[in-house]
Structure 1
Amino acid sequence: MTLTIRRVYHIAAFSWYAFVVKNLAAKDGEQLPPGIFVYGGPWKYLTFLNLLLQMLFFGVAALSDLQAGNKAESTLNRCKDLLFSVFAFPVGTFVVVLFWTIFAYDRELVYPATIDTFFPPWMNHAMHTLVLPFLLGEVVVQPHIYPQTKHALQALGGVGAAYLFWIIWVYLSVGIWVYPLLAHFSTPGLVGLFFFNMSVVVLLYLLGNKLNSRFWSKDVTSGGH
């Protein structure tokens, strides 16, 4: 894939996410359904944090494209590979898969119908659908060097635990679960849900590694296990 195509793709993706984040952040302070932006605003939602993650990744990727060819091993390039392989692909794919799975079962558990009044359909799909095509496009546009699996899983586990503590803190502070679904679980159930979700994220990390290796088998070498 030519450098020009990569540059256009990365700049376009970054611009799109910047546009979505700006529109979503503008909703903070409006008259929204009870509990939506109470305590922590949009920062308590994995969907919003994922949008920031995707915007950060594509921004770093766009900057990396501007480097000369002999700087392929630069810190910026390594940061780009780390962001995509360990965080952007598995977390972004997880958000899409989990959201639409729960939405199909009972949308009130994750995205109550009252939200439709404030967030138009295009914004819902921008947050929960288009993330996946952008990530799959990145797999096609450019190869990525994956770190050692044990290091990647340690990083994913640390980020997952940090987010878990954050949503528990929100609940203890204002008595509202970030997602209505969580109110249906006991404490052991919440622990089990966390480990289940982390297992799915791990599988998605391995999937991303496999896709990267298959598509770019002659161009990139994985960091191994």
Structure 2
Amino acid sequence: MAAIHMRMLGYLVTLAMHGGNMLVMNSLLQGPVMEDPNIRTFSAMYKRFFTVWTMFLQLFVASLGLTTDYYTLKYRNKKEPQWLGVMRSVKNRIFAAVLWPTVFLVSSLFWSLYHYDRSLIYPLFADKILSSTANHILHTAVIPLVVWEVIFQPRSVPKKHGVNVTMLTVYMFAYLFLMYYTYIEQGIWMYPIFGLAYNKHICFPLIISAIGVMLFIYYHMQWFLTRIVWGSQVKIKK
């Protein structure tokens, strides 16, 4: 099975996994459970959670990747149209700059806090609408999917990382703005840990800085894997 077919398989699994999970979650956000004010708040604002942002981004990249690979196969014996190359470049850029580091941030930060003190990141009421399976889809299964992409997507390490790092920085500041706007608008923090840190003042910038360092490390981690998987192929190509 060629690498392109393996990539397409990964995209299909991503779309099916997240799509099915969203259907189940939406079905649970109905009936008596909505009498819980915490559930009503979650239902009204679930699209603002960073985990959900990451899920939607993974769905977008998978859709773009599947479309790109389909037309790559279609035009394999013909001259490839220019728009196809643009789509491929956009998909690869978003994956490298934003999706890979944020997926690892979501998984590592969530499970670390969950096992330390789940109330900091995952309140008890969430168990009413998120099963253990749904939880692992959102915070665990996302990791092998992005690793799968690196393994089966030929690429080389960029000489400069300025554009990618800038994209990641803008993305994270956009979310921080949304999180703070939600606090101003609703008087609540999307994740309890930020509320505790905000009240202690100095802890808040320290946590934000730590997250920034984690993202920087995770971003560069993908290129270490890329060298292992594609290093020899890149050298041969050169």
Same fold (TM over 0.5): yes
Shift of 1:87: 1.2
Query: Shift in Å at residue 89 of structure 1?
Result: 0.8
Shift in Å at residue 146 of structure 1? 5.5
C-alpha contact (below 8 Å) 1:93/1:132 kept by paired residues: yes
TM-score of the two chains, using structure 2 as the length reference: 0.84
2:154 to 127, 135, 143: 143
Partner of 1:5: 6
**Offset of residue 10 of structure 1:** 1.8
Q: Percent identity?
A: 22
Match of 2:55 in 1: 51
Aligned to 1:92: 103
Among 187, 195, 209, the residue aligned to 1:175: 187
Shift of 1:16: 1.8
Question: What does residue 91 of structure 2 align with?
Answer: 80
Q: Is 2:226 aligned against 1:212?
A: yes
2:97–2:167 CA contact under 8 A, matched in 1: yes
Is the 2:25–2:129 contact (alpha carbons within 8 Å) kept by the matching residues of 1?
A: no
**1:16 matched residue in structure 2:** 17
Instruction: State the one-letter code of the partner of 1:84.
Output: F
- The structural deviation recorded for 1:212 is 1.4
**Unaligned stretches of 5+ in structure 2?**
none
| Alignment of structure 1 residues 115-130 onto 2, 5 Å | 115-130=126-141
Residue 65 of structure 2 corresponds to 61
Greater C-alpha Rg: 2
Kindly state the Cα deviation for residue 216 of structure 1 after the two structures are TM-superposed: 0.7
Tell me which residue corresponds to 2:203: 189
The residue type paired with residue 152 of structure 1 is: N
The alpha-carbon deviation at position 179 of structure 1 amounts to 0.6
Q: How many pairs are equivalent?
A: 221
The one-letter code sitting in structure 2 at the alignment partner of 1:167 is M
Q: Is the 8 A contact 1:14 1:58 kept in 2?
A: yes
Closer, same or farther: CA 123–13 of 1 in aligned 2, 3 Å: same
Distance 2:39 2:91 in 1: 32
User: CA–CA distance in 2 between the matches of 1:12 and 1:220?
Assistant: 28
**Alignment root-mean-square deviation, CA:** 2.3
CA spacing shift, 1:26–1:162, aligned 2, 3 Å: farther
8 Å contact kept, 2:156–2:231: no
TM-score (norm 1): 0.88
Q: Deviation at 1:23?
A: 3.1
